[in-house]
Amino acid sequence: LEHRVMDMVRHGHENAAIAQKLHEWTRQIAAVRDAADLPGAVESSMRALFDVPQVALRVWDVAPGHAGLAAAQPASDDARAFASSLTMPYCGPNHGFEAVGWLPDAAQAQSLALLPLREGAIDSADQPAFGLLVLGSPDAQRFDAAMGTDFLARMAELASSALSRLRP
């Protein structure tokens, strides 16, 4: 019983630390004035605050003024359909998803978190995704199917809200 209480306390401290990082990430994203700077801010702050080694972002159907952004590079119909099919973040091994190729060093990504970007809540299956945030790690256990995804879902929703400024 004592060990279980200690585990609960440890998990509580870990969740508080993640919540603080999420707050800081949100603050940094909200402070970005120029919409064209948002993709870079989302990626760099994700790497820095959450120690995610690799981050990639794609947003499709952007306004013409943002079409030249790296995050607006084309995504296939399959990648778009896959992103739209996700009603929660995918966490697990690298199964060779097309989106893994968007990472700077895809061969090193052993585990992934794939966060769909859409208007409204992440589980709004009636809303198609307008982008995908890809997190990759060389640690095969970093993102696994058994991990909780509540914080990742909130991150997807926050990133979606911010990045919607790139759309017409």
28-87: pLDDT as tens digits:
999 999 999 999 999 999 999 999 999 999 999 999 999 999 999 999 999 999 999 999
The answer to whether 153 and 89 are in contact (CB under 8 A) is yes
This prediction has a pTM of 0.89
**Confidence check: pLDDT of 122 > 90:** no
pLDDT band for position 109 (cuts 50, 70, 90): very high
pLDDT at 19: 85
